[in-house]
Amino acid sequence: MDLRERILQAYDAKAGNQHVIAARFNVSRKCLCDLLRLRRLTGSVAPRPHGGGRTAAYEGETLEQLRELIRQQPDATLEELRERTGVDCSLQAVHNAVGRLEFRYKKSRSTPASRSGPMSSSSGSPGGKRPSR
């Protein structure tokens, strides 16, 4: 049985006040009140569907166009990809689409590696030597 149903079953059986029932099932009193309101309004305690949200800037044909552009020029910047696809979106949207295509960024050094070697000699012990007492 679903937790929502067990909570309301305990409430209907008058197994205690709202605070006691909420504590018994380790939920907040507000959670219990929300379940009661949902049941009163809809007659069900089933979770409501997802509320939606913004649709992705790159879907279907534009996503495939982006994939092809990356295959043709793997080192293209996000801004270049956005311009070539003609999609009016943020750079973050392009980044998210590249992630959905499971392409990864190759790290490249912007500066050469340091030429300095280890700072301690190979014969020295780490942490130095304590003076004797």
In tens, the pLDDT along 37-65 reads 999 999 998 888 888 888 889 999 999 99
Secondary structure of 106-121 as H, E, C letters: CCCCCCCCCCCCCCCC
Residue 29: pLDDT band with limits 50, 70, 90: very high
Q: Give the pTM.
A: 0.47
Distance, in Å, from the CA atom of 99 to the CA atom of 106, rounded to the nearest integer, reads 13
Find out whether 78 and 95 touch, Cβ atoms under 8 Å: yes
Instruction: Tell whether the model's pLDDT for residue 126 goes beyond 70.
Output: no
Find out whether 8 and 36 touch, Cβ atoms under 8 Å: yes
The pLDDT value recorded for residue 28 is: 95
Distance, in Å, from the CA atom of 4 to the CA atom of 30, rounded to the nearest integer, reads 13
Q: Which bin fits 50, alpha (ψ -120 to 50), beta or left (φ > 0)?
A: beta
Residue of 32, 31, 41, 34 lying closest to 12 (CA atoms): 32
pLDDT digits (tens, 9 = 90+) for 81-122: 999 999 999 999 999 999 999 877 666 666 666 677 666 666
Residue 89 is encoded by which pair of tokens?
A: 């979106």
Helix (H) or strand (E) holding 66: helix 61-72
The pLDDT value recorded for residue 67 is: 94
| Angle between helix 3-12 and 29-42 (nearest 10) | 90
Instruction: Tell whether the model's pLDDT for residue 124 goes beyond 60.
Output: no
